Amino acid sequence: MDFPDILNFLGRLGVAAYFLWSVSFNIAAKAHHLSEFKRVGAPAGELLFWVGIALSAVGSILLIYTPTAWIGALMLIVFTLVADALFHRYWTYDDPGESVMHKFFLFEHVALVGGMIGLAAGTL
């Protein structure tokens, strides 16, 4: 393993650690997330919640293992983009503070998706 491979692995490990942490955090906040699904009018909130948990957990594990990293990255990218499309539509919030917060979340996630694309490309 050369230096770029080590850096790629450390980057994938960091992203995977974040998403694995988010799995436990989101399970603990399940009631809040289910109310958010209801607020945005998403059907089958309970099912969508568990699909998101599965994408995050399995995607993280696949991201760590080099031969499957691109599949894990794709799963995490899909999860992130769908969650953003549902919950971080900053222009729909009346409260300016909430609007700004969701704008930050959305654009941070755009950067995260870009980073995951780069990490996945480094394993191909």
Please check the confidence at residue 17 and state whether its pLDDT lies above 90. Answer: yes
pLDDT digits (tens, 9 = 90+) for 83-101: 999 999 899 889 999 999 9
Q: Read off the tokens for 115.
A: 């980073």
Residue 34 near residue 26 (C-beta atoms within 8 A):
no
Please check the confidence at residue 1 and state whether its pLDDT lies above 90. Answer: no
The whole-chain average pLDDT of the chain stands at: 96
Instruction: Determine the pLDDT at residue 108.
Output: 96
List of long-range contacts for 93-96, beta carbons under 8 Å, 24+ apart: none
Measure the CA angle with vertex 72, ends 118 and 8; round to 5°: 40
Instruction: Determine the pLDDT at residue 117.
Output: 97
Helix, strand or coil for residue 2? coil
pLDDT bracket for residue 57 (50, 70, 90) = very high
Instruction: Determine the pLDDT at residue 16.
Output: 98
For the chain, what is the domain count? 1
Instruction: Determine the pLDDT at residue 41.
Output: 93
Please give the residue range of the domain that contains residue 59.
Answer: 3-121
